[in-house]
Structure 1
Amino acid sequence: MLSSIILKTIFYIVSFLISVISARMVSIADIGSFAILFSICNILIIIFGFGLDTTIIKIFSSNVKSLEYEFDTIIGDRIILQIILSPLIFLILYLYSDNLMLSLMATLIVFCVLIRNMISNLFLAKRNIIKGLFLQEGIQSITRFSILLSVFIFLIIIQKENIYNINILYIAWLVGVLLSFIISVFIYTINNFESYNIKGAVIRLFCLIKDSKNFWLSQIIWLTIPYIDILIISKILNYTDVAGYDTAAKIAAAGVFFSSVTQSVIAPKISNIWNGGKIEELLQYLKKVSVIFVMLSLISFLFFYTLGTQILLIWGSDFVPYYEVLLIVALSQLLKMTFGPLSSLLQMSGYSNLELRVALLNLPIKVITSIVLGIYFGVIGIAISVLISTLLSNTVLFAYSKKILRLKVS
């Protein structure tokens, strides 16, 4: 566990540095433009992922060996499905960007990320956390960082500023994704792949997606909300505010990076304890995780409160006006950590339908409050909507979690 936490922390820091270098290379408006396309691609990845990543971790973590060939079948089916869906994804991207080359690039990125993530999740399910994390995050982030750092150093050497436009961000992103995809496919094919039978692919996919529907719908709502906020800001405000809000929110999220760092370990652990019927052990585990999360989150919030302005200056003076956004989102993160890993508990215990109910309740409230508060208060209003949404959703998740634990005990 320790080695995986260290590794994911390193990847998180690298991604953090990518954001800093990008802000120092191009204008804040270009950062905003990139954030919008990045958000759209991530929304498409979540939608067309069909919740399969969570299903893989839940199912294959408990009985990997007997299902290994079945996973080979899923990989082949996933590739076929994604080839079929790619024209639709391209159309969506082209309608947004009205740029043929940009749409083709983004379609390729979505395709590669979906396949790569499924392969890496097999290794996560096998408890090969290091390999899984390296394929899913490490190769892409290190490649992007290396490209941007090389260009940044070159700019310093020739004593030029901003001679590269937003295209350098797109190129680094594309190369990072492609390299991680190629390596993932190569490693999996060499070590695991057996003969693939295309017969029955449609039926297999339909059954798997049907089993994943609750995970899928919940992920569409929970994971797309930050990206939806970016799109809302782009419509009611401007690209500069997109960049400022996106950067402040990412910094606040970095303050609680330990929750995402440990997620790949916590979810399988909860699944195993629950399936073993060890409720007392599960309660102690959840309490321990929650206490650690709260302590670290509080330290993070106080750190941002004290040094938030100085931290934003690392990105540049244009980002300093978003200090209040940083504080509000950091407070939301602290509130979320106080409740503990509730979503993981509901997903891994077979009650993903309850999480879906909360997500369906939360989505319209979040979108409406974002639009209304955004119109009247700007990016501060968007940040306040995050706080409201976090309090509401986690209160209901907590109530559901207490209910299922009581049912399990009785």
Structure 2
Amino acid sequence: MYKRGIFLLLLKCIILAITVSFNFLAAKFLGLEQYGLFAIASSILLFSVTLSKFGLEQVVTRFFAVNNVSSDAYTGNFLFLLLSSSIVAFFIYFCGSGLLLKFNEQHELVGLFSFIAVLNVLQTIQAYNAAVLKGLSEAVLYTLLNGFFSFGVALLITLIVKPSTANELLIILVCSTVISCLLSFLAIKARTKYRLVVFKGTMPHIRTVIGPGFNMLLVSLGAIITQQSSTLLLGAHVSLEQVAVFALALKVSFIMSYPLVVSNTINSASFARLYKEKDILALKLLMNDVRKILSFIAIFGLALAILCGEGILKFLGQEFMPMYELLLILMFGQCINLATGSSVNLLIMAGFERIHRRNVLILTTLNVLTLIIFIPIYGVLAAAIITSTFIAIKNIVSAFYVNKLVLKL
């Protein structure tokens, strides 16, 4: 398991380097103002994809991990997500710009909504295929489909084309996501022999995951709101350059969560199976190992950011220096995220979506209210402090319920 984990961590580090390079290169080519527009568009896309997936991503992983699944189940969920993502895309294209401009005065966003709508469908389908592979314990394929292909191709095209506007950058993302989506179908075909053919048994399988999926939809929306609502609210109160600096700091702070993503990729199927078998002792041992490793990485990562972060930002360019203070604040929340281990993932894999949903709804409501109150006064500093604080609180609460309900501590 550890060899596999090290390999996946190295793969994630490569994806991380590609993703960070893509974003900083995009900011250099576009300038902070246009990159600020791109950051707002990216936040809208994250919201729309989360809504389109209907919370099925983790539910599908658990479903495929503990059941002997056939083509009709794969097809049923695929068709449901294709329909939901198409409806959301239709709404984005025809209604999104008008609604957003009531709260955000960045009129340049209007021209980006067609690209957001297309990316919404593509990323939803890609995420579904990746979740299926994750449930089938194909951690490497899952990891490759979650950033390596899409951002790798996007980085290559960006280096060649040198985009100067947010529109051009989104076109590049559409092209790279199409390629990644096609590769996800090839991976599914090679691994499972599933066929996109509708069988009579399709509908029962859809109903099996829709119920838990609704709980996870609310949970996923809560997580995205905690992470991304600050970017959208900042767009209404500060300059696009400040939005860009905050968005870059937020993206870089998520570097800290990559080891946790690797852990979840490796262990999600094991969490589901062990809890189904009621092997609580094995679950405790697994979680203790995960928490120790991730806590060490959290301490090391924060120390590295404190010692080297300012120098790295100076090397990248003076325009990125305002990120340093925001980055340290945001990394505090990510340190707590790591130190609590795979608590959120285990709570979900064990079937406690309702409890996690309740916690997320309460904390998300408090988070948004706090942002609405303080962002107009303190700007990006308030956004960073509030976002980091609620990421930390969410994970501490999840760890408490894991210990109480799953591990019986």
TM-score normalised per structure 2: 0.89
| Aligned match of 1:42 | 46
| Aligned match of 2:395 | 394
2-side partners of 1:115 and 1:128: how far apart?
17
| Aligned match of 2:377 | 376
C-alpha deviations, 1:158-216, integer Å up to 9, x for none?
Answer: xxxxx833333122211111111233335545763436237787776455322311111
Counterparts in 2 of 1:239-388, with a 5 A limit? 239-388=240-389
| Aligned match of 2:181 | 181
Q: Cα distance 1:315–1:224, how it changes in 2: closer, same or farther (>3 A)?
A: farther
Percent sequence identity is: 18
Residue 24 (structure 1) aligned with residue 25 (structure 2): no
Residue 107 of structure 1 is aligned with which of 117, 131, 152?
117
| Aligned match of 1:230 | 231
2-side partners of 1:106 and 1:202: how far apart?
30
Q: Cα distance 1:405–1:104, how it changes in 2: closer, same or farther (>3 A)?
A: closer
Residue 135 of structure 1 is aligned with which of 127, 135, 145?
145
2-side partners of 1:239 and 1:275: how far apart?
49
Q: Which amino acid aligns with 1:103?
A: F
2-side partners of 1:25 and 1:8: how far apart?
25
Residue 148 (structure 1) aligned with residue 151 (structure 2): no
Q: Quick check: 4-13 or 227-236, which moved more?
A: 4-13
Secondary structure of residue in 2 paired with 1:164: coil
Shift of 1:91: 2.4
Q: Quick check: 139-148 or 206-215, which moved more?
A: 206-215
2-side partners of 1:406 and 1:288: how far apart?
14
Residue 126 (structure 1) aligned with residue 136 (structure 2): yes
Q: Which amino acid aligns with 1:37?
A: A
Q: RMSD across aligned C-alpha pairs, in angstroms? A: 2.5
Secondary structure of residue in 2 paired with 1:48: helix
| Aligned match of 1:8 | 12
Shift of 1:304: 1.1
Q: Cα distance 1:82–1:250, how it changes in 2: closer, same or farther (>3 A)?
A: closer
| Aligned match of 2:104 | none
Q: Which amino acid aligns with 1:138?
A: F
Q: Which amino acid aligns with 1:30?
A: Q
Secondary structure of residue in 2 paired with 1:242: helix
Shift of 1:353: 1.1
Residue 55 (structure 1) aligned with residue 65 (structure 2): no
1-side partners of 2:14 and 2:392: how far apart?
30
Q: Quick check: 50-59 or 208-217, which moved more?
A: 208-217
Q: Cα distance 1:341–1:91, how it changes in 2: closer, same or farther (>3 A)?
A: same
Secondary structure of residue in 2 paired with 1:123: helix
Q: Which amino acid aligns with 2:284?
A: L
C-alpha deviations, 1:293-341, integer Å up to 9, x for none?
Answer: 1111111111111222222234421121231111111111112222222
2-side partners of 1:102 and 1:377: how far apart?
29
Q: Cα distance 1:400–1:233, how it changes in 2: closer, same or farther (>3 A)?
A: same
Gaps of 5+ in 2: 101-106
Q: Which amino acid aligns with 1:290?
A: R
2-side partners of 1:130 and 1:28: how far apart?
35
Residue 116 (structure 1) aligned with residue 122 (structure 2): no
2-side partners of 1:258 and 1:240: how far apart?
30
Shift of 1:73: 2.8
Counterparts in 2 of 1:60-79, with a 5 A limit? 60-63=64-67, 65-79=68-82
1:46·1:224 contact (CA, 8 Å) conserved in 2? no
1-side partners of 2:245 and 2:69: how far apart?
49
2-side partners of 1:391 and 1:292: how far apart?
18
2-side partners of 1:101 and 1:202: how far apart?
38
C-alpha deviations, 1:34-77, integer Å up to 9, x for none?
Answer: 000011011000011101111110111122x3444321332234
Gaps of 5+ in 1: 153-162
2-side partners of 1:45 and 1:195: how far apart?
22
2-side partners of 1:78 and 1:362: how far apart?
27
1:51·1:212 contact (CA, 8 Å) conserved in 2? yes
Residue 168 (structure 1) aligned with residue 168 (structure 2): yes
Shift of 1:99: 6.8
Shift of 1:279: 1.1
2:65·2:269 contact (CA, 8 Å) conserved in 1? yes
Q: Cα distance 1:200–1:84, how it changes in 2: closer, same or farther (>3 A)?
A: farther
1:23·1:316 contact (CA, 8 Å) conserved in 2? no
1:77·1:201 contact (CA, 8 Å) conserved in 2? no
TM-score normalised per structure 1: 0.89
1-side partners of 2:86 and 2:172: how far apart?
24
1-side partners of 2:96 and 2:173: how far apart?
16
- Equivalences, count: 397
Q: Which amino acid aligns with 1:70?
A: A
Secondary structure of residue in 2 paired with 1:15: helix
Secondary structure of residue in 2 paired with 1:212: helix
2-side partners of 1:303 and 1:195: how far apart?
47
Q: Cα distance 1:33–1:305, how it changes in 2: closer, same or farther (>3 A)?
A: same
2-side partners of 1:332 and 1:84: how far apart?
34
